[in-house]
């Protein structure tokens, strides 16, 4: 379908480099490993995951007595798949009612867009959705969410003033009263370096638990794949503050190098619930490791 093509074109640069390297022919030698190392690092895989992947690859090469460069592509695909597969754990939003999803991320990551896409995805699964306009810092964010809700027939709980925790608390209670299946709670985008904002988002999480024990059932961090290794520090900071249970990796259709997903798999193996492959409402896809590796290596 169209989205695989977009994912593929987003990852094309890296994919082409790897394909060119292996299809040049010749024997597997140190130069080849070195070039592959450079490609992986340029693709945002990062040192740690690159070293791990190469060690795994060398191991496979020895074990299977591979000697030709062109045999490496399949072996690399296997190593990548082994690394990424544990991340492919779909969101299961029907295990509690209401199922409360707390969204977080830095500004511009694609949080608002992803909320819209996610609401549509969940409705497609036959689940009713309620949005909580917990981004109380930007009036525009609230307006954006309300307009979106009206257009798509989704209830949005918002307040003119008040803090995020209060809005989301109300939303969880409203969802219980109205027997809604899923609450999508937006929070203000923030920089992980803003200590007071990180304290505030922790408070939001505590207050959600007061409204409904065990909630939030999912803390979803939205990451822009283009931010490269920076995405790793975001995972670390939000995970320390909130305990992130799932990731949405956006903009993989763009100029993203995509390798950051491997870096995450190595450093913070948190499930990647979805990937964003475009600006449209249907451009959110459950993460599938096979699809990803195929898009990358062909």
Nearer to ligand GDP, 37 or 282 (CB): 282
Among residues 36, 100, 250, 289, the one that binds ligand GDP under rule CB under 6 A: 250
Q: Does 143 bind ligand GDP (CB under 6 A)?
A: no
Q: Locate tokens 């219980």: which residue?
A: 176
Residue 272's alpha-carbon distances to 84, 138, 289, in angstroms, are: 9, 27, 10
Tokens of 195: 């200590």
Question: Does residue 181 interact with ligand GDP by CB under 6 A?
Answer: no
Q: Which stretch binds ligand GDP (CB under 6 A): 16-24, 36-44, 106-114, 170-178?
A: 106-114
Name the one residue in this structure whose structure tokens are 């991320």.
105
Report the helix count and the strand count for the chain, using DSSP H and E.
Answer: 11, 8
Q: Does 215 bind ligand GDP (CB under 6 A)?
A: no
Q: Does 134 engage in binding with ligand GDP (CB under 6 A)?
A: no
Residues in contact with ligand GDP, counted by CB under 6 A, come to a total of: 18
Segment near ligand GDP (CB under 6 A); pick from 49-57, 110-118, 211-219, 232-240:
110-118
- What are the DSSP calls for 101-124, one per residue? EEEEE-TTSSHHHHHHHHHHHHHH
Given 189, 216, 246, 259, the residue binding ligand GDP (CB under 6 A): 189
Residue by residue, DSSP assigns 158-208 as --SSS-HHHHHHHHHHHHHHTT-SEEEE------TT-HHHHHHHHHHHHHH
**Residues annotated in the binding site for GTP, as ranges?**
105-112, 186-190, 250-253
**On the CB side of 164, how many CA atoms lie within 13 Å of its CA?**
28
Residue 187 binds ligand GDP (CB under 6 A): no
- For ligand GDP, the closer of residues 109 and 172 by Cβ is 109
Of the candidate residues 105, 134, 149, 271, the single one contacting ligand GDP (CB under 6 A): 105
Q: How far is the CB of 284 from ligand GDP (least distance, A)?
A: 7
Determine phi and psi for 250, rounding to 5 degrees. -95, 165
Dist CA 94 CA 97 (whole Å): 7
Q: Should residue 234 be labelled a site residue for ligand GDP when binding is judged by CB under 6 A?
A: no
Distance in angstroms (rounded) separating the CA atoms of residues 199 and 245:
19
Site residues (CB under 6 A) for ligand GDP, limited to 258-287: 276-279, 283
On the 0-12 / 13-18 / 19+ scale of CB atoms within 10 A, 139 is: exposed
- Work out which of 113, 136, 192, 226 binds ligand GDP, going by CB under 6 A: 113
Q: Which of residues 28 and 260 has its CB atom nearest to ligand GDP in the complex?
A: 260
CA quadruple 223, 103, 116, 143: dihedral sign: negative
Pairing of strands 155-157, 129-132: parallel
| Contact string (CB under 6 A) for ligand GDP, positions 61-100, x = contact | ----------------------------------------
From 226, 276, 258, 292, select the one nearest 49 (Cα to Cα): 258
Verify binding: residue 112, ligand GDP, rule CB under 6 A: yes
- Contact positions vs ligand GDP (CB under 6 A): 105, 107-113, 189, 250-251, 253-254, 276-279, 283
């Amino acid at each position: 379908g169209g989205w695989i093509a977009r994912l593929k074109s987003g990852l094309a640069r890296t994919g082409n480099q790897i394909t060119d390297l292996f299809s040049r022919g010749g024997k597997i030698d140190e130069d080849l490993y070195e070039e592959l190392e450079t490609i992986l690092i340029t693709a945002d895989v990062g040192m740690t995951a690159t070293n791990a992947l190469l060690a795994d690859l060398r191991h496979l090469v020895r074990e299977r007595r591979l000697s030709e460069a062109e045999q490496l592509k399949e072996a690399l695909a296997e190593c990548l798949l082994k690394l990424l597969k544990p991340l492919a754990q779909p969101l299961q939003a029907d295990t509690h009612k209401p199922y409360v999803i707390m969204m977080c991320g830095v500004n511009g990551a694609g949080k608002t867009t992803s909320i819209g896409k996610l609401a549509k995805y969940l409705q497609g699964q036959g689940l009713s959705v309620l949005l909580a306009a917990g981004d109380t810092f930007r009036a525009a964010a609230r307006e954006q969410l309300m307009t979106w809700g009206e257009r798509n027939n989704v209830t949005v709980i918002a307040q003119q003033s008040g803090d995020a925790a209060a809005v989301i608390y109300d939303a969880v209670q409203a969802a219980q009263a109205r027997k809604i299946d899923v609450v999508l709670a937006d929070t203000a985008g923030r920089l992980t370096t803003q200590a007071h904002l990180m304290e505030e988002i922790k408070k939001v999480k505590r207050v959600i638990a007061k409204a409904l024990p065990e909630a939030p059932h999912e803390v979803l961090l939205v990451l822009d794949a283009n931010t490269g290794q920076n995405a790793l520090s975001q995972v670390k900071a939000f995970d320390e503050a909130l305990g992130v249970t799932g990731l949405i990796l956006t903009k993989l259709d763009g100029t993203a190098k995509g390798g950051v997903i491997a870096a995450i798999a190595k450093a913070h193996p948190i499930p990647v619930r979805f990937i964003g492959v475009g600006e449209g409402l249907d451009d959110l896809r459950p993460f599938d490791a096979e699809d990803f590796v195929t898009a990358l290596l062909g």
